[in-house]
Amino acid sequence: MEYSADILIIGGGLSGTMLAVQLLRQPGQRKILIIEPRAELGRGEAYSAVELGHTLNGNAARMSVDPDNPDDLTQWLTEHIAAGGWPESAEQHVPTSELFPPRGLFGVYVQQRLAEARAVGARYGSIVEHVRSEVVDLQVREDCVQLTLSNGQNLQGSFAVIATGMFPAARTPQTESSGLNAAALDPWDVAAMRQLDPQSTVLIIGSGLTMVDAVVSLEQAGHRGPIEVFSRHGLLPHVRRQPPAWVDFLAEDHSIRTPRQLLRELRRHCREAVAQGIDWQAPLDTVRAHIGRLWSQANDVQRRQFVRHVRPWWESHHHRSPPLSAELLARLHSEGRLRIQAASFKGLVPTTEGGVNIRIRRRGEVETSVVHGAALINSSGIEYDWRRVARPLPKQLLARGLVQPGPLALGIAAVDGAVMDAEGRVASRLFAMGPPLRGMWWESTAVTDVALQAKALAQRLVH
């Protein structure tokens, strides 16, 4: 059976849901289908978390889904808390705008905004429906886009939007698998962690925000043993603070174009801030609004230099940890239970004694060594290279030449959201938004990024 719509949205996490919200707010009658295998829209990987300890890594003032109202989440939280929701918020002892809500609660907020947009759309005669399935193939016809679903159903629409969100390395099948995921615990599976000996040693690969989540999960599961973390550079995310405003030096000086120039100027401003008794995070936070411009105007050599030499420090300084999680990590480190080591993961080693063995090479050493633990967690972050993602749709899109890898093989290539095929032709019916455009904008995953892209793309699709 073939089912028709005006717009097909592939993925119903934050990206797909925000696009639907923006489309429903536009005058005119249209039918929108969101194809998402999860039971709920608006959650995706990030906001399906159920533990209160898994919080946003940005405060409410930074996480509005409404690009026209930066206080939208703060206002929603104020009403929600006043109505008796999230009583634990009082433990943070800060104004509502500075709260770090649980990710599951943020999912509720997104769903409420979708419900309100449905009511607006209904007045125009627009509807959105959730098709609970996975898209496994896509073909672009002259007059439509046709999708094939995992249940055998076919859908067709005038336009299709790839809003597949992020592919967490811990949950994504890889084309060249090391077997890591098969041997590892899910970083967010608290129930599985409760089955461990509370005093046992747990090994974690990766030291970014996924690792922070994994440590929170272990703590909530009652784990009280050693935690050994291995990452190439041994860098931890800094804690997110609320610094005062700083001059937007990139808006004032457009001669800053290369990663080297940016680093030099940013360090100078950070030194000035510290000398004035101001948090160094203040100058850093002004850079955020200019990353898309700086990335797009850089050449591939400069981008490669950034990814190879600057990226680890950018990630640890910019993608910061929420305060409560940072406090937990600091406590465990001071107790000697949490140890961070600069070492590369080199593979699994068979063991007959239970638990798991991994081979690592510590930074500065030539020889590898084997480390044993009762359990292993893959916290290596997000897989942005679609060529390595063993999911049906990315594989088919690449095989058909309907998409091409983005710069440095990050996500897929696009022009103003319109997908670029293997021959460099820009599609007129196939679009993308959010994390798949990582290579085009570098920062294409944050809530504010997604909200702005959703608004712009909705206006393009409508007009």
Residues 212, 333: one domain? yes
Domain count, the chain: 3
Per the document, the length of the chain is 463
Neighbours of 124 (CB within 10 A): 14
Average confidence (pLDDT) over 80-88: 96
Residues 454, 393: one domain? yes
CA dihedral 185, 190, 192, 195 (to 10 degrees): 120
Question: In degrees rounded to 5, what are phi and psi of residue 369?
Answer: -140, 160
Q: Are strands 227-231 and 356-362 parallel, antiparallel or unpaired?
A: unpaired
Residues 139, 258: one domain? no
Report the pLDDT value the prediction gives residue 127, as an integer from 0 to 100: 97
Distances (CA, A) of 417 to 28, 110, 289, 295, 455: 22, 22, 19, 16, 12
Burial label, 141 (beta-carbon count in 10 A; 0-12, 13-18, 19+):
exposed
Identify whether 75 is part of a domain: no
Average confidence (pLDDT) over 92-113: 96
Report the pLDDT value the prediction gives residue 270, as an integer from 0 to 100: 96
Question: In degrees rounded to 5, what are phi and psi of residue 59?
Answer: -75, 165
Last residue of a domain, one of 378, 404, 425: 378
Identify whether 161 is part of a domain: yes
Report the pLDDT value the prediction gives residue 258, as an integer from 0 to 100: 82
Report the pLDDT value the prediction gives residue 422, as an integer from 0 to 100: 97
Q: State how far the Cα of 463 lies from the Cα of 454, in Å rounded to an integer.
A: 14
Band (pLDDT 50/70/90 cuts) for residue 340 is very high
Assess contact for 411 and 437: CB atoms under 8 A: yes
Q: Where in the sequence is the domain holding 392, given as residue range(s)?
A: 2-54+102-167+384-462
Identify whether 439 is part of a domain: yes
Question: In degrees rounded to 5, what are phi and psi of residue 154?
Answer: -110, 140
Q: From 159, 164, 210, 165, select the one nearest 188 (Cα to Cα).
A: 210
Q: What confidence tens digit (pLDDT) does each residue in 420-442 have?
A: 999 999 999 999 999 999 999 88
Burial label, 199 (beta-carbon count in 10 A; 0-12, 13-18, 19+):
exposed
Residues 213, 329: one domain? yes
For residue 140, what are the β-bridge partners? 145
Instruction: Using the structure block, give the residue that is written with the tokens 């509502």.
Output: 96
Distance of CA 335 to the CA centre of its chain: 31
Where b means 16+ CB within 10 Å and e means fewer, 18-28 reads bbbbbbbbbee
For residue 430, what are the β-bridge partners? 160
Mean of the per-residue pLDDT values of the chain: 94
Find the helix or strand (DSSP H, E) in which 231 lies: strand 227-231
Report the pLDDT value the prediction gives residue 50, as an integer from 0 to 100: 83
Average confidence (pLDDT) over 179-191: 90
In the three-class reduction of DSSP (H, G, I as helix; E, B as strand; rest coil), residue 130 is classed as strand
Burial label, 189 (beta-carbon count in 10 A; 0-12, 13-18, 19+):
middle
In Å, the largest CA–CA distance within the chain is 68
Report the pLDDT value the prediction gives residue 247, as an integer from 0 to 100: 94
Residues 116, 34: one domain? yes
Query: Is the model's pLDDT at 1 over the cut of 50?
Result: no
Residues 117, 214: one domain? no
Report the pLDDT value the prediction gives residue 2, as an integer from 0 to 100: 63
Assess contact for 27 and 53: CB atoms under 8 A: no
Distance of CA 78 to the CA centre of its chain: 26
Distance of CA 73 to the CA centre of its chain: 18
Report the sign of the C-alpha dihedral through residues 30, 36, 42, 46, in that order. negative
Query: Is the model's pLDDT at 310 over the cut of 90?
Result: no
CATH number of the domain at 203, please. 3.50.50.60
Query: Is the model's pLDDT at 224 over the cut of 90?
Result: yes
Last residue of a domain, one of 268, 286, 318: 318
Q: State how far the Cα of 169 lies from the Cα of 380, in Å rounded to an integer.
A: 6
Query: Is the model's pLDDT at 375 over the cut of 50?
Result: yes
Identify whether 67 is part of a domain: no
Assess contact for 2 and 420: CB atoms under 8 A: no
Q: From 118, 148, 138, select the one nearest 130 (Cα to Cα).
A: 118
Q: State how far the Cα of 357 lies from the Cα of 111, in Å rounded to an integer.
A: 42
DSSP sequence for 15-80: HHHHHHHHHHTSSS--EEEEE-SSSSSS-TTGGG---TTSB-SS-GGG--S-TT-TTHHHHHHHHH
Query: Is the model's pLDDT at 328 over the cut of 80?
Result: yes
Last residue of a domain, one of 318, 339, 357: 318
Residues 374, 333: one domain? yes
Assess contact for 440 and 411: CB atoms under 8 A: yes
In the three-class reduction of DSSP (H, G, I as helix; E, B as strand; rest coil), residue 415 is classed as strand
Residues 421, 449: one domain? yes
Report the pLDDT value the prediction gives residue 260, as an integer from 0 to 100: 84
Report the pLDDT value the prediction gives residue 268, as an integer from 0 to 100: 96
Identify whether 138 is part of a domain: yes
Q: State how far the Cα of 438 lies from the Cα of 361, in Å rounded to an integer.
A: 30
Report the pLDDT value the prediction gives residue 17, as an integer from 0 to 100: 98
Distance of CA 260 to the CA centre of its chain: 26
- pTM check: above 0.75: yes
Residue type at 312 in one-letter notation: P
Residues 12, 131: one domain? yes
Query: Is the model's pLDDT at 176 over the cut of 90?
Result: no
Residues 258, 310: one domain? yes
Query: Is the model's pLDDT at 386 over the cut of 70?
Result: yes
